[in-house]
Structure 1
Amino acid sequence: MSSTDEVPAPSGRGRRVILWRHGQTSWNVERRFQGTTDVELTETGVAQARRAARLLAGLRPDAIVASDLKRATHTAAELAALTGLQVSYDGGLRETYAGAWQGLTHEEIIARYGDEYAAWKRGEPVRRGGGELETEVADRAAPVVLRYLEKLPQDGTLVVVSHGGTIRTTIGRLIGLDAGNWEALGGLTNCCWSVLGEGARGWRLLEHNAGTLPEQVLGDDD
């Protein structure tokens, strides 16, 4: 590992969870809503995953759990190859199911479902395309993260490989934000991550959208 790839290992007491978004897909580039559609990584996405894995391996994770969609499993595999850890997979970490929105570009969604889109961006509870509420995504994803955290040692680090919308809702739930304020958490760029640390009063957001120079966020939740 070169000096430019080195990241200091986490210090201090308490568990940490790194919520890592998958690498780029063709639908990200096309600004097409993926949801639970199983889209592969692009070559750029694979390269992103390899670079990010080198950084995250320096944090010496104790466990990796990933969504079972290919863009997440292939991203997780890059970290597993460097750390020797076995990846666990859980469908509870999938991206938000968005029904009729899935496969549409953002422009098509706004044209066909403009009122629904605007209500969602205002923070109102919306079943996008007839799919899941954001709170329902948190209901299934946050318990997965907590279940794997329970298996860690006192100072252990868990890497969760998931999707932008699911990560946003999980962070919001774990740090105790009201669901109407989850939009305040900016989107994650492909293959970037957020870090939560365990404090005396619960989970705290220590880093958000880490791992890259600023660039456009391309995702379902932007």
Structure 2
Amino acid sequence: MMRLLFWRHGRTEWNLAGRFQGQTDIGLDDVGREQARRSAALLAGLRPSAIVSSDLSRTRETAGYLAEKTGLVPTLDPRLRETFARRWEGLTFSEIDQAFPDESAAWKSGTVHVRPGGGESRFEVGERVAAGALAAAAGVRPDGLLVVVTHGGAARSGLASLLGLPSEYWGAISGLANCHWSVLEEHDAPGGWRLTEHNAGSLPEAVVGQEG
């Protein structure tokens, strides 16, 4: 059956400084490059069928390490970009709290319809990320593994959208650490996808002895 692996990019200087990156094009720092190298070595062992990546430099570079290990050529899709946050981008989270207290509180509450900095909502991000992942998956064999190289918030919203979660439960899915990943497996139940790994940093393992 088809599997989708959502892989967050390595660390950047703005991640370290606690700045909201959004769609600002920030590259990996030295730690992020080492994270990507280490994770790529693990993920190559899963023998992915294809790689699709956000077109921002931090994801392109992360995808490049897996490409080196597998010989696959990543395709780029801007639908996999991080949330566009307009006025918030480049600000630290404490600066956002001070300058946009009501908006920040609504964002932190997990609501899917607030627009951070006047940008796009989580719901909109989830729809476009899901569409980008499914478009790429259409070109992968039915039992293949597609690696989707994206961003923390984008991955979280895309996963919730693909799982068909009601909007009030989107906040139940945590974010991803740098260069960690989540795996969706196709199945026949309503919604079509099952979450089998989340925020993982080691190779996925099969579920054995399942009792419920």
Q: For 1:112-127, what aligned pairs fall within 5 Å after superposition?
A: 112-124=99-111, 125-127=113-115
> For 1:129, which of 75, 99, 117 is the aligned residue?
117
Distance in structure 1 (CA, Å) of the matches to 2:158 and 2:52: 14
Q: Distance in 2 between matches of 1:170 and 1:92?
A: 10
- In 2, Cα distance between the equivalents of 1:21 and 1:170? 12
- Structure 1 partner of 2:185: 197
Question: What are the within-5 Å matches in structure 2 for residues 131-170 of structure 1?
Answer: 131-170=119-158
Q: Deviations over 1:24-75 (max 9, x none)?
A: 0000000000000000100000000000000100110000000000000000
Looking at structure 1, the residues matched to 125 and 101 of structure 2 have their Cα atoms a distance apart, in angstroms, of: 22
Kindly provide the amino acid, as one letter, of the partner of residue 206 in structure 1.
T
Query: Shift of the alpha carbon at 1:118?
Result: 0.9
Q: What is the distance in 2 between the residues matched to 1:100 and 1:93?
A: 20
Tell which deviates more after alignment, 103-112 or 120-129: 120-129
Q: Residue by residue, what CA displacement relative to the aligned partner does 1:169-207 show, whole Å, maximum 9, x if unpaired?
A: 110011111223211111100000000001121100000
Q: Specify every segment of 5 or more residues in structure 1 that has no aligned partner in the other structure, as ranges.
A: 1-13, 213-222
Aligned residues with identical type, % of pairs = 53
Q: Say whether residues 1:69 and 2:45 are aligned partners.
A: no
Task: Detail structure 1 runs of 4+ shifted over 2 Å in the superposition.
Answer: none
Matched, 1:111 2:78: no
For the pair 1:209 / 2:199, whether they are aligned, the reply is yes
The reply on whether 1:43 has 2:30 as its aligned counterpart is yes
Following TM superposition, by how much is the alpha carbon of 1:22 offset from its aligned partner in structure 2, in angstroms?
Answer: 0.1
> What is the rounded CA distance, in whole Å, between the counterparts of 2:110 and 2:15 in structure 1?
23
What displacement does 1:104 show?
Answer: 0.2
Equivalent residue, structure 2, for 1:15: 2
In 2, Cα distance between the equivalents of 1:97 and 1:182?
A: 18
Q: What is the TM-score with the length of structure 1 in the denominator?
A: 0.88
Q: 1:99 — aligned with what?
A: 86
Distance across 2 between alignment mates of 1:76 and 1:104: 26
Amino acid in the other structure paired with 1:35: G
Q: Secondary structure at the match of 1:36?
A: coil
Instruction: Extract unaligned runs of 5+ from structure 2.
Output: 203-212
Query: Counterparts of 1:140 and 1:188 in 2: how far apart (Å)?
Result: 19
RMSD of aligned alpha carbons: 0.9
